[in-house]
Amino acid sequence: MNTNKTFKIFVDFDGTITKKDVGEILFLQFGNAEKAKEIVQDWIDRKINSRESWRLLCRTVEKLDKNEFDRFIDSQEIDESFKTFVDYCNADKHEIRIVSDGLDYYIDRILNRNGLSFVERFSNKLAFDDNGGFYPEFPYTDEECDRCANCKRNHIINYSGDEDYTVYIGDGYSDLCPAQYCDFIFAKGSLLRYCEINRITYFPFENFIDVINKLNELAARKRLKKRFQAQLKRKEVYIQG
């Protein structure tokens, strides 16, 4: 559907594009499952930040069988409607970027396997050592933010302006902050519950066809109103910068 309105779209990866939270189940499979569960819960409870949680999760893996690791990643499925959504964005000239607090190794591998390696993405990195272990690296951290490893908010600010209509699509705890900086939020899971509790306007979705239908509806409106609170939060960042 061609319209004169275009969107800047930011999409979470784990549990949004993929059917499961790959970053979490990797450590349940290859690390100490009980410790991994405790670490994830401590992160959810805000006892530790995302950088700390990734470091601790990686330490639960004593020695990695790389071939088995790759096979496990290759078994993870994406929401097939995401491919349709990417085609839709390209056809209607909506900029789309993946913003993930996950790790590039499995994200890149999953996207490549599904013919989506061309989609721009930002995430944390996974580095391998010579002893069969690995560790995380954080190229997009923001020292002023003590919560996230990959500051999704900064990607939204860097790749959009006041004149743009911004869209956030997500499902989890790492989406709570960045979603607040976007004009239109598509939410499920923990993000949906957060929006409901905090009375933040959102659109529920089950798959990316739902997102396409709603974006077409929004683009067809003569006047499209941006979310006021999102404008205020973006303005705060612009002033600080």
Per-residue pLDDT of the chain (241 residues; tens, 9 = 90+): 445 689 999 999 999 999 999 999 999 999 999 999 999 999 999 999 999 999 999 999 988 899 999 999 999 999 999 999 999 999 999 999 999 999 999 999 999 999 999 999 999 999 998 887 899 999 999 877 778 899 999 999 999 988 999 999 999 999 999 999 999 999 999 999 999 999 999 999 999 999 999 999 999 999 999 999 999 999 888 777 5
Same domain, 53 and 143: no
pLDDT at residue 1, as a whole number: 47
Cβ atoms of 127 and 39 closer than 8 Å: no
Closest of 153, 79, 160, 85 to residue 119, by C-alpha = 85
Same domain, 117 and 44: no
User: Considering the domain boundaries, does residue 189 fall inside one?
Assistant: yes
Edge to edge, the sheet with strand 134-137 lists 134-137, 121-128, 95-103, 7-11, 165-170, 184-187, 203-204
Same domain, 113 and 221: yes
pLDDT at residue 2, as a whole number: 45
Kindly report the CATH number assigned to the domain that includes residue 85. Answer: 3.40.50.1000
Structure tokens at 146: 């003590």
Q: Write phi, then psi, for 225 (nearest 5 degrees).
A: -90, 130
3-state secondary structure of 82: helix
Q: Which domain holds residue 148?
A: 7-20+78-240
3-state secondary structure of 114: coil
What span, in angstroms and rounded, lies between the C-alpha atoms of 49 and 67? Answer: 30
Structure tokens at 103: 């790790």
User: Considering the domain boundaries, does residue 2 fall inside one?
Assistant: no
pLDDT at residue 148, as a whole number: 87
H or E segment at 194?
helix 189-197
Same domain, 66 and 175: no
Cβ atoms < 10 Å from Cβ of 116: 16
Terminal-to-terminal C-alpha distance of the chain: 37
Same domain, 86 and 190: yes
Orientation angle between helical segments 50-59 and 33-44, nearest 10 degrees = 180
User: Considering the domain boundaries, does residue 1 fall inside one?
Assistant: no
What span, in angstroms and rounded, lies between the C-alpha atoms of 33 and 40? Answer: 11
pLDDT at residue 156, as a whole number: 96
Structure tokens at 149: 């490893």
Same domain, 63 and 164: no
Distance of CA 145 to the CA centre of its chain: 17
Q: Write phi, then psi, for 115 (nearest 5 degrees).
A: 70, 30
SS (H, E, C) 85-113: HHHHHHHCCCEEEEEEEEEHHHHHHHHHH
Structure tokens at 223: 């006047």
The single-letter DSSP state of residue 127 is E
Same domain, 125 and 191: yes
Same domain, 150 and 236: yes
